Amino acid sequence: MSIITVELGARSYKVIVENGLLARAGEHLAPLSRGRTMAIVTDENVRPHLATLQASLSAAGVASEAIILPPGEGSKSWATLELLTDRLLDLGIERGDHVIALGGGVIGDLVGFACSIVKRGCGFVQIPTTLLAQVDSSVGGKTAINSRAGKNLVGAFHQPALVLVDPTTLDTLPLRQVRAGYAEVVKYGLIDDFEFFEWCEANAAALLAGDADARTYAIAHSIAAKARIVAEDEYETTGKRALLNLGHTFGHALEAEAGFSDRLLHGEGVAAGMALAFGYSARRGLCTGQDVARVTAHLRAIGLPDSAPAANINADGTTLVAHMLHDKKMDAGTLPFLLARGIGKTFVDKSVELADVTRFLDEQREMAAA
């Protein structure tokens, strides 16, 4: 078992990582229940895990009520938020209660946001069941829904009280989803941990094949990295937390071009986006062509896209950069980019000219077509 603490003073919380934890979740949740019925919010795809969780709550003497939402990004909407907050209020949720978010990033983001506004903020617990949610979105308190203007544009920082991670939930996750989540794992190596990138090169295949030790190590290591960064810069004001956005600006443009659909999963967009961030860094003379080749070779080896065409996006630079202008990181008309001086040497550059990024994306497209 690994226990990682996200150190945030009075709002500090633990992330527990353990194989089989879902079946023992009741022991950890009972102290938060205050003898009251706990609401569990989940989606249709997570039903088998819901049964395990409810059985473990019953065994710990805790009653629970499930709210089951439709799966998919469409649930991160005003309409579902309204439905969910009404249900939570109907259940009589109090500020001191803890709502359980059981599922992937969509459920975690939606439930977290609902809990940030119900009665001006109630407690919640994250039980992430996808790799992406386990290593990224369930930790750190970013919550959001999508709006007409774009993805994740309406939300709040609201930290969970506890995060329970059971890597065995990945046993039933489609391989494509595990791979997409893996992009956020290797991201931690690329940001500031060259040794972990080397570990990823050596162990990614085993992890994707379901090797329990590799999986658990990667998840715990990733969460520890994120916990350190969040503790240093909870509200993304100093530039430290912004490092977690490596690959996300390029990736966001690719995802937007794919209509934020299953054509390109978030992690797939991030993978191609990280390759582009390294490619652009090399073009600016910041890192070497060998760095780029090493990053792209690793992504390709595990079946993740390492370019826009590999992600089946053939839009030109102007179109992709237009998508970037809707990025919520826009700051007084400029867009900070995450660039790299090498593997494990990522930094924020606020002086990137979008016209130059447009040229770079057009060059990449021409090279792929040649």
Q: Is 241 a known active-site residue?
A: yes
Q: What single DSSP character describes residue 261?
A: S
Structure tokens at 79: 């309409």
Q: With CB under 6 A, what is the number of residues at the site for ligand GLY?
A: 5
Among 136, 192, 193, 268, binds ligand GLY (CB under 6 A): 136
The runs of H, that is alpha helices, within the chain are 25-33, 47-59, 78-90, 105-117, 131-132, 175-192, 194-208, 212-232, 248-257, 266-283, 289-301, 317-324, 354-369
Among 244, 321, 324, 343, binds ligand GLY (CB under 6 A): 244
- CB within 8 Å of 345: residues ≥ 6 apart: 192, 287
Q: Is 252 a known active-site residue?
A: yes
Choosing from 49, 98, 142, 215, which is the catalytic residue?
Answer: 142
Return the axis-axis angle of helices 317-324 and 248-257, rounded to nearest 10°: 110
Q: Is 87 a known active-site residue?
A: no
| Residue 174 Cβ vs ligand GLY, minimum distance, rounded to whole Å | 22
Among 24, 49, 98, 142, binds ligand GLY (CB under 6 A): 142
Q: Is 148 a known active-site residue?
A: no
Binding mask 93-132 for ligand GLY (x = CB under 6 A): ----------------------------------------
- 191: nearest Cα among 228, 148, 153, 154: 228
CA distance 71 to 158: 22
First to last CA, the chain: 51
Choosing from 226, 298, 323, 365, which is the catalytic residue?
Answer: 226
| Residue 136 Cβ vs ligand GLY, minimum distance, rounded to whole Å | 5
| Residue 314 Cβ vs ligand GLY, minimum distance, rounded to whole Å | 27
Choosing from 158, 266, 298, 365, which is the catalytic residue?
Answer: 266
| Residue 180 Cβ vs ligand GLY, minimum distance, rounded to whole Å | 14
Q: Is 142 a known active-site residue?
A: yes
By CB under 6 A, is residue 241 in contact with ligand GLY?
yes
| Residue 156 Cβ vs ligand GLY, minimum distance, rounded to whole Å | 13
Which of these segments, 30-38, 64-72, 135-143, 342-350, binds ligand GLY (CB under 6 A)? 135-143
CA distance 252 to 229: 22
Q: Is 94 a known active-site residue?
A: no
- CB within 8 Å of 208: residues ≥ 6 apart: 175, 178, 179, 182, 302
Strands 162-165 and 337-340: unpaired
Q: What single DSSP character describes residue 307?
A: S
**Nearer residue to ligand GLY within complex by CB, 36 or 328:** 328
Q: Is the dihedral of CA 44, 48, 49, 54 positive or negative?
A: positive
Among 104, 108, 112, 140, binds ligand GLY (CB under 6 A): 140
By CB under 6 A, is residue 306 in contact with ligand GLY?
no
CA distance 126 to 301: 32
**Nearer residue to ligand GLY within complex by CB, 88 or 139:** 139
Choosing from 24, 98, 146, 236, which is the catalytic residue?
Answer: 236
Q: Is 195 a known active-site residue?
A: no
CB 223 within 8 A of CB 139: yes
CA angle 364, 199, 227 (to 5 degrees): 90
By CB under 6 A, is residue 291 in contact with ligand GLY?
no
Which of these segments, 26-34, 68-76, 136-144, 265-273, binds ligand GLY (CB under 6 A)? 136-144
- Give catalytic residues, as residue numbers: 120, 142, 184, 226, 236, 241, 245, 248, 252, 266
